[in-house]
Amino acid sequence: MMVDIVRVVGFGVCGVFTVVLGLVHFAMPRLLDFDGAIPTDGEPLRPLSLLVVTYQTKQSDVRGIAQIMNHAVSYVLVTIGVLDLLAGEWLGEWFAPYLLVWLAIWWFLRAATQRHMGSRPGDWLVAVGFTAIGVFHLVFGVVVWP
């Protein structure tokens, strides 16, 4: 009974939080002033060399990849949130523990990379919060799963 309450409330809270976070993330290039922070003009950057291909990079490439990665993460966040909100539909399936462990690892990765933002108290709080979401998914995938 208690596990059911924790499941419903936990996945509900994680799902709503993650969908909202994903939607906010779509606005991050504007909120964080990517245009001001990453100029498109300037000296060419060190070339990107991949085995037999060399690609001369520009500052606009850096801004572009930041926006691409931001929007890709936004999409993944919204997807994870929707999966959490629909957890009652798939938690009993054979793939549930694998998906839950994958989601947990994703959140642990996100928590670990928060250090790139700095080590302010808010950065630590974000890392701890994302770790907690990862632990929640891991516990349901490894311990609680039917």
d(C-alpha 94, C-alpha 51), whole Å: 41
d(CA 22, CA 83): 13
User: In this predicted model, what pLDDT tens digit does every residue of 1-31 receive, in sequence order?
Assistant: 788 899 999 999 999 999 999 999 999 999 9
Q: Work out the percent of the chain whose per-residue pLDDT is above 90.
A: 80
Model confidence at 115, pLDDT cuts 50, 70, 90, reads very high
For the stretch 63-68, contacts whose Cβ atoms lie closer than 8 Å and that sit 24 or more positions apart, written own/partner, are 63/34, 63/35, 63/38, 63/39, 66/29, 66/34, 66/38, 67/29, 67/34
Please tell me the pTM assigned to this model.
0.90
Q: Please, are residues 79 and 26 in contact by the beta-carbon 8 Å criterion?
A: no
Of the pLDDT bands very low, low, confident and very high (cuts 50, 70, 90), residue 146 is low
How far is residue 116's CA from residue 29's CA, in Å, rounded to a whole number?
17
> What is the rounded distance in angstroms from the CA atom of residue 3 to the CA atom of residue 146?
11
45 and 58 Cβ atoms separated by less than 8 Å: yes
Judged on CB neighbours under 10 Å (0-12, 13-18, 19+), 68 is: exposed
- Token pair, residue 93, equals 């399936």
Residue-wise pLDDT tens digits, 118-138? 999 999 999 999 999 999 999
pLDDT tens readout for residues 45-75: 999 898 899 989 888 888 999 999 999 999 9
Q: Map tokens 């630590």 to a residue.
A: 124
How confident is the model over 76-111, as pLDDT tens digits?
Answer: 999 999 999 999 999 999 999 999 999 999 999 999
